[in-house]
Structure 1
Amino acid sequence: MSISRRALLSTVPAAALLTVAGQIRAGKAQAAPGDQDRLIANTVAMLAGTPESNARPEVADKLAAIESTARTWLQALDTAGAGELFKGLPLGTSDTNLKSTSQHLYEIALATRVPGGALNGDSAIQDRVLRKLRWLHENYYGDQSKGYYGNWFNWEIGVSTDVTRTLALLSGVAPADLVSAYVASMDAYLRNGKNGDVDLDSRFHTGANLADITANRILQAALLGDDARLAKAVADQFTVFSTVDPYNLQHGVTDGYYADGSFLQHASVAYTGSYGKGLLTRAVQTIKVLDGTSYASTGTVVPVVQSWVVDGFAPLIFEGYLMEIVKGRAVSRTTTGYADVAIIVEAIVDLSGYSADAAGLKSYIKHIRQSSRATLTPTSFVSPVSISRYADLMADAAIPAADLNPASRSVAFNAMDRVVHRRPGYAFALARSSARISAYEYMSGENLMPWFQGAGAHYLYLAGQDHTQAFGVDYYTTVSPYRLAGITAPEEVRRTVPELYGTLWYDKPELGFTSSSESQNTYVYFPVCTNEYSGGAVLGAYGAAGLMLGDDAAYAAQQAGQLPADFVAYRNAEATKSWFLLDDEIVVLAAGVRDGAGRAVTTTFDSRIAGASDVVTLTEGDRWLRYANETQQNAVGYRFLAGTRPTGATASVTASRRVVRTTNPDTKVTKQVFTLGVTEPAGAVAAAYAYAIVPNASATDLAAYEDCRLTILANTPKAQAVKHTGLGLVAVNTFTPGDHHAERLVVDGPASVLAQTTRRGDVTIAVADPTTHRDTVTVTIHGRTLRAVESDEGVRIRPVAGGTRIEVATRHAYGRSFTAVLRADR
Structure 2
Amino acid sequence: MDLTRRQTLTLAGATAAAALPLTAGVATAADAVEAADAPAADAFDALLARAEEQLTGGAFDTADPDFAAAVKALDTQASAWWKDLDRSAGRKALWADLSPASDPGMFGQSYPRLRTLATAWATPGTSLTGSAEVADALVAALGFLGSTGYNPARGESGNWWFWEIGAPRALMDTCVLLRSKLPAADLAGYVATVAKFCPNPDRRTNSPSLSETGANRADKAVIVALRGLLARDAATVALARDGLSDVRDNGRRSLFTYVTSGDGFYEDGSFVQHDSVAYTGTYGSVLLGSAGQLIALLAGSDWALNDPKVSVLYEAVERSFSPVMFDGLMMDALRGRAISRERARDYNDGAVTLTYILQLAAGAPAPYADRWRALAKGWVSRNKANPYAGLVGIPALARAKAVLDDKAIPAAERLTGHFSFADMDRVVHRRPGWALALSLSSKRIAAYEAGNGENLHGWYTGDGMTYLYDGDDLGQFGDGFWPTVDPYRLPGTTVDTRARADLGTGAGAGTYRPKNAVAGGVVLQDRYGAAAMELIADGSTLQARKAWFCLDNAVVALGAGITASDSRTIETVVENRSLHTDGAPRLLVDGRRQPGEQGWSASLSGADWAHLEGTGGYVFPDHPGRAPGGVPLRALREERTGSWGALNSGADTGGDTDLVTRRYVTLWFDHGSSPTDSSYAYVLLPGASAVATGVWAHSRPVRIVANDATVQAVEARRLGLLAAHFWGPGSAGGLTSSGPGTVLVRRHGDAISVAVADPGRTGSTLTVELPFPVRKVTRADDTITLTPGRRPVLTVVVAGSRGHSHTAELA
TM-score category, normalised to shorter length = 0.7 to 0.9
After TM superposition, the structure 1 = structure 2 runs for residues 90-489 of structure 1, keeping only pairs within 5 Å, are 90-114=99-123, 121-122=130-131, 125-142=134-151, 144-145=153-154, 148-190=156-198, 202=210, 205-239=212-246, 240-246=254-260, 254-297=262-305, 300=308, 303-335=311-343, 336-356=345-365, 357=367, 358-378=369-389, 380-382=391-393, 384-403=394-413, 405=415, 408-465=416-473, 467-468=474-475, 470-472=476-478, 474-489=480-495
Aligned pair partner of 2:578 in 603, 609, 612: 609
Gaps of 5+ in 1: 1-28, 499-503, 506-514, 553-569
The separation in 2 between residues aligned to 1:375 and 1:51, in whole angstroms, is 26
Tell me, yes or no, if the aligned pair for 1:303 and 1:355 is still in contact at 8 Å. no
Q: What is the root-mean-square deviation of aligned Cα atoms in Å?
A: 2.8
Tell me, yes or no, if the aligned pair for 2:258 and 2:264 is still in contact at 8 Å. yes
Tell me, yes or no, if the aligned pair for 2:327 and 2:382 is still in contact at 8 Å. yes
Asked if residue 691 in structure 1 is aligned to residue 682 in structure 2, the reply is: yes
Deviation at 1:528, TM superposition (A): 0.7
1:246-269 CA-to-partner distances (Å, cap 9, x unmatched) read 2xx5xxxx1121111111111111
Secondary structure of 2:259 counterpart: coil
TM-score between both structures, scaled by the size of structure 1: 0.83
Tell me, yes or no, if the aligned pair for 1:772 and 1:814 is still in contact at 8 Å. yes
1:440-475 CA-to-partner distances (Å, cap 9, x unmatched) read 12222222111111111111122311x32x223633
Secondary structure of 1:608 counterpart: strand
Cα 1:220–1:388, aligned 2, differ >3 Å: closer, same or farther?
A: same
Cα 1:131–1:664, aligned 2, differ >3 Å: closer, same or farther?
A: closer
- Number of residue pairs aligned between Structure 1 and Structure 2: 736
Tell me, yes or no, if the aligned pair for 1:260 and 1:414 is still in contact at 8 Å. yes
Amino acid across the alignment from 2:285: K
User: Identity rate of aligned residues, in percent?
Assistant: 30
Secondary structure of 2:582 counterpart: coil
Asked if residue 730 in structure 1 is aligned to residue 722 in structure 2, the reply is: yes
Asked if residue 672 in structure 1 is aligned to residue 660 in structure 2, the reply is: no
Tell which deviates more after alignment, 692-701 or 53-62: 53-62
Aligned pair partner of 1:805 in 793, 797, 800: 793
Tell me, yes or no, if the aligned pair for 1:478 and 1:673 is still in contact at 8 Å. no
Amino acid across the alignment from 1:590: G
Secondary structure of 1:749 counterpart: coil
Asked if residue 620 in structure 1 is aligned to residue 611 in structure 2, the reply is: no
The separation in 2 between residues aligned to 1:195 and 1:585, in whole angstroms, is 48
Deviation at 1:136, TM superposition (A): 2.2
- Counterpart position of 1:529: 514
Amino acid across the alignment from 1:100: Q
Asked if residue 45 in structure 1 is aligned to residue 36 in structure 2, the reply is: no
The separation in 2 between residues aligned to 1:295 and 1:233, in whole angstroms, is 9
Tell which deviates more after alignment, 194-203 or 418-427: 194-203
- Counterpart position of 1:542: 528
Secondary structure of 2:195 counterpart: helix
Amino acid across the alignment from 1:230: V
- Counterpart position of 2:760: 771
Tell me, yes or no, if the aligned pair for 1:319 and 1:373 is still in contact at 8 Å. no
Amino acid across the alignment from 1:546: A
Tell which deviates more after alignment, 697-706 or 540-549: 697-706
The separation in 2 between residues aligned to 1:613 and 1:88, in whole angstroms, is 35
Cα 1:693–1:119, aligned 2, differ >3 Å: closer, same or farther?
A: closer
Aligned pair partner of 2:642 in 627, 635, 655: 655
TM-score between both structures, scaled by the size of structure 2: 0.85
Tell me, yes or no, if the aligned pair for 1:756 and 1:763 is still in contact at 8 Å. yes
Deviation at 1:638, TM superposition (A): 2.5
The separation in 1 between residues aligned to 2:186 and 2:783, in whole angstroms, is 60
Tell me, yes or no, if the aligned pair for 1:334 and 1:472 is still in contact at 8 Å. no
Cα 1:173–1:702, aligned 2, differ >3 Å: closer, same or farther?
A: closer
Tell which deviates more after alignment, 189-198 or 254-263: 189-198
Cα 1:373–1:803, aligned 2, differ >3 Å: closer, same or farther?
A: same
- Counterpart position of 2:620: 639
Secondary structure of 1:641 counterpart: coil
The separation in 1 between residues aligned to 2:587 and 2:391, in whole angstroms, is 40
Secondary structure of 2:744 counterpart: strand
Gaps of 5+ in 2: 1-35, 247-253, 591-605
Tell me, yes or no, if the aligned pair for 2:200 and 2:239 is still in contact at 8 Å. no
1:628-674 CA-to-partner distances (Å, cap 9, x unmatched) read 24xxx333323333332522222232333333223321222323222
Cα 1:88–1:472, aligned 2, differ >3 Å: closer, same or farther?
A: closer
- Counterpart position of 1:22: none
- Counterpart position of 2:770: 781
After TM superposition, the structure 1 = structure 2 runs for residues 506-525 of structure 1, keeping only pairs within 5 Å, are 515-516=507-508, 525=510
Deviation at 1:35, TM superposition (A): 4.5
The separation in 2 between residues aligned to 1:326 and 1:349, in whole angstroms, is 20
Asked if residue 717 in structure 1 is aligned to residue 728 in structure 2, the reply is: no
